[in-house]
Structure 1
Amino acid sequence: MTKTPYDVAIVGAGIVGLAHALAAAKLGKRVVVIDRDASANGASIRNFGFVTVTGQQAGDCWNKAARSRQIWADVADKAGIPVLQRGMTMTARLPESESVIDAFLKTEMGTGCDRLTPSEACERVSALRRDAISTALYSPHEVRVESRKALPRLAAWLEEVHAVDFLWQTSVHAVSTPRLDTSRGPLAAETVVVCPGDDRITLFADRIAPYQVTRCKLQMLRVTPQRPVDLGTAVMSDLGLARYLGYAELPEAAALKTRLDRDMADFRDNGIHLIAVQSADGSLVVGDSHHYSDTPDPFIDKAVNDLILREMEAVLDLGPYDLTETWVGTYASSPNRWRLTDKPDDATRIVMVTAGCGASTAFAIGEETIADLYG
């Protein structure tokens, strides 16, 4: 190997891998993306497609989300990815929730957001149960794409416009930059970025182990109302104020968490909070729950789904609806960090988002990694 045919090889074609491919391609690098599946099949297509800024943890995570939101707007337009919804309405039923919203609006992260009366909230989201909310937080910053369609379109655009090569159905057995040993034979690249999703074992297991990464299983549902419903914005509820760290780490959130632990223990024990977003066909993607294990089981627990639907029905009046899909997603999780970038050597990086915010932050992380590699 006297000459490296690629400048950057990226292992993993989820949103984190594609974000790195975009950042490298923008610098004029010759890029190859390698994935063991025929198309993206992990967390990146099993989530809400909800690019969330508001509520992300203050500091690095919120900053990365704000920057990624800017890149998403540009990429969606250029790649022909429909933005199906804009904005987010966080409904509140409890006085403790109102205190959290008021405190959040006083922070830098609350810039551009507003507190809404029940009437104002129902004007934005006509399906809200007006008698079930006391106030709401509105954010204009969020966008929503259909992730299972957006990821393949993003990969195709990178290939068509930025000349990124893709090696699908190709496993990488070992990385010793500039050499990668793959199921198609050896490959060479000047730099390598490994974006393994929640796979902590196949590559660099010894490097990943100290970060105490485990896996989070979440249950997701698709609900199809039997009559037309226009959701307007993405919708969340009080439970999100106690889970998303941009709210939950505020001092004012302590009273809310105490009340929810007492009054909604089943929801809290199953890591449930409500997100409802709408697809182009009128159906809603609704979730989700959180259970942690090194090897999560693949089975859907009806009792957990029932809790998610109960929270949805407490906030939204959809009329009769059909439960048309349910599925399990997983993502990497760490108890003490929301992301990690490890450096086995000067030319190699391991990048993982260890919280459920990869779609919201990956583009900015990709910029950071490629800038670090190429200055």
Structure 2
Amino acid sequence: MRMRKKYDLIVVGGGVLGTFHAYHALEQGLRVAVIEKDKRPQGATVRNFGQVVPSGMNTKWQEYGRESLNIYRQIQDRFDISVRHNGSVYLASNEEEVQLIEELSSINQKNGYTSQLLTRQECLEKYPGLKPGYVKAGLFFPDEVTVEPRVMIGRLLQYLIKEKGLDYYDSTHVLNCAQVTGGVSVLTSKGTELEAGKVIICCGSEFKTLYPQLFAGSDLEVTKLQMLQTVPQPGYELKGSVLTGLSIRRYEAFYECPSFAAIKAREVPDSFEKKWGIHILFKQAADGSVIIGDSHEYARAADADDLGFDLRTDVDDFMIIEAQKIIALPSYEIQNRWFGIYSQCKTQDLFQHTIDGAIHIVTGIGGKGMTGSAGFSKENIKRVFDLK
């Protein structure tokens, strides 16, 4: 006889989007389970920089990101999930980029989001090793934070299990979701049958397996990103997230700047950095190593395997050369290289679809996950459960 257990909510997928849905449901006093197909999350949640940067988002998602900052801090005050309050900076390398950060500063003033324009000298004093020949000015966001992604999600789940009563089913696949009287029945690969009033599916692979036709008809695409990690840098401190000129030319927040379209139109269309979607970011990890990246290679979600599992050495080499033009780290010896893959939608912010009023598919948050998931999930739980 199958074990049957009843919940208010079952979340499929223990990544950052799924786990924050669970967090907010638990905060509302609901009985919650998370089902994760791996022993611990292995996807985009643990294969990114760990930057929480609402500054890079458009106005709508910046609101979610700013709420995320509050949530990260609230949790960190209660339980160490690796949050460091160390700010973010965008470094402009020419007059066009200076114009963009000045325009974004004005937008932030109207939005009530704190930022500070830095002179070239202030940037050089604040960020050791920054090359005088590169930087013209900077835009600093003091309220932004960083996390250690491979640490954060595990600790957050641990906190929810120990302190909030979350039931966590790891190494477990969902074989079937079916509406039953009063909710949804979920059959797992371990022979467990769980029931819940609502199910939220935040895992792209489980979405593909459970609802293949819906998945095939979606506008989801996948992005492959390459990143590098130096050896630890003893005696060297690079605070916060450092985003540079190529980031200014890619991040959504800058699309709202009056000069953005004209500046983008003047870029060389067949440049190597545009072909591989490269922008140079730096973030120092807790062990003193520096993470550098990243690149972007795209494919339809149905064709994700076409991206392959190899790392392009020409992309890595290009990122290192460009990084060396910006910051003189004590060492550029690389100890680790990896890629991450995340899904996103071509025509909307993320993929949302409801089946039978009780099964909610929410996925494809793309590069907004670490920054936007906490804030978005808070609003979405209220919507799903019709809470005030």
TM-score range, shorter chain: over 0.9
Deviations along 1:248-281, one digit per CA (max 9) or x if unpaired, are: 342311243234435x811111011112111121
Give the secondary-structure state (helix, strand or coil) at the position aligned to 1:98. Answer: helix
Give the secondary-structure state (helix, strand or coil) at the position aligned to 1:356. Answer: helix
Post-superposition, which runs of at least 4 consecutive aligned residues in structure 1 deviate over 6 A? none
1:198, 1:105 → 2: CA distance?
Answer: 39
Deviations along 1:60-95, one digit per CA (max 9) or x if unpaired, are: x11111111111111122221222352111111111
Matches within 5 A, 1:11-50: 11-50=12-51
1:333, 1:302 → 2: CA distance?
Answer: 25
Does the CA contact (< 8 Å) of 1:198 and 1:215 recur in 2? no
Give the aligned residue type for 1:114.
Q
Give the aligned residue type for 1:269.
K
Equivalence for 1:233? 240
2:385, 2:171 → 1: CA distance?
Answer: 29
1:172, 1:193 → 2: CA distance?
Answer: 12
Matches within 5 A, 1:60-99: 61-84=61-84, 86-99=86-99
Change (3 A) 1:284 1:110: farther
Structure 1 unaligned blocks of 5 or more: none
2:217, 2:204 → 1: CA distance?
Answer: 16
2:321, 2:262 → 1: CA distance?
Answer: 23
Equivalence for 1:149? 151
Change (3 A) 1:104 1:199: farther
2:174, 2:206 → 1: CA distance?
Answer: 12
Aligned-residue sequence identity (percent) comes to 30
Equivalence for 2:369? 358
How far the C-alpha of 1:138 sits from its partner, in A, is: 0.9
How far the C-alpha of 1:225 sits from its partner, in A, is: 5.6
Change (3 A) 1:259 1:129: farther
1:43, 1:199 → 2: CA distance?
Answer: 15
Matches within 5 A, 1:1-375: 5-59=6-60, 61-84=61-84, 86-107=86-107, 108-109=110-111, 111-177=113-179, 178-185=184-191, 186-197=193-204, 200-224=207-231, 228-261=235-268, 265-293=271-299, 294-295=303-304, 296-375=307-386
Number of corresponding residues: 372
TM-score normalised to structure 1 length: 0.94
Deviations along 1:142-189, one digit per CA (max 9) or x if unpaired, are: 210100011111111000000101110100012114111210222211
TM-score normalised to structure 2 length: 0.91
Does the CA contact (< 8 Å) of 1:173 and 1:181 recur in 2? yes
Change (3 A) 1:151 1:251: same
How far the C-alpha of 1:114 sits from its partner, in A, is: 1.5
1:265, 1:102 → 2: CA distance?
Answer: 26
Does the CA contact (< 8 Å) of 1:84 and 1:279 recur in 2? no
Does the CA contact (< 8 Å) of 1:91 and 1:238 recur in 2? yes
Does the CA contact (< 8 Å) of 2:350 and 2:362 recur in 1? yes
Give the secondary-structure state (helix, strand or coil) at the position aligned to 1:341. Answer: strand
Give the secondary-structure state (helix, strand or coil) at the position aligned to 1:211. Answer: coil
1:221, 1:138 → 2: CA distance?
Answer: 24
Give the aligned residue type for 2:90.
M
1:338, 1:199 → 2: CA distance?
Answer: 20
Give the secondary-structure state (helix, strand or coil) at the position aligned to 1:189. Answer: strand
How far the C-alpha of 1:227 sits from its partner, in A, is: 5.0
Deviates more, 1:290-299 or 1:222-231: 222-231
Give the aligned residue type for 2:73.
A
Give the aligned residue type for 2:30.
K
Does the CA contact (< 8 Å) of 2:201 and 2:207 recur in 1? no
Change (3 A) 1:72 1:226: closer
In angstroms, what is the RMSD of aligned CA positions?
Answer: 1.9
Change (3 A) 1:353 1:141: farther
How far the C-alpha of 1:46 sits from its partner, in A, is: 0.5
Give the aligned residue type for 1:287.
G
Deviates more, 1:332-341 or 1:251-260: 251-260
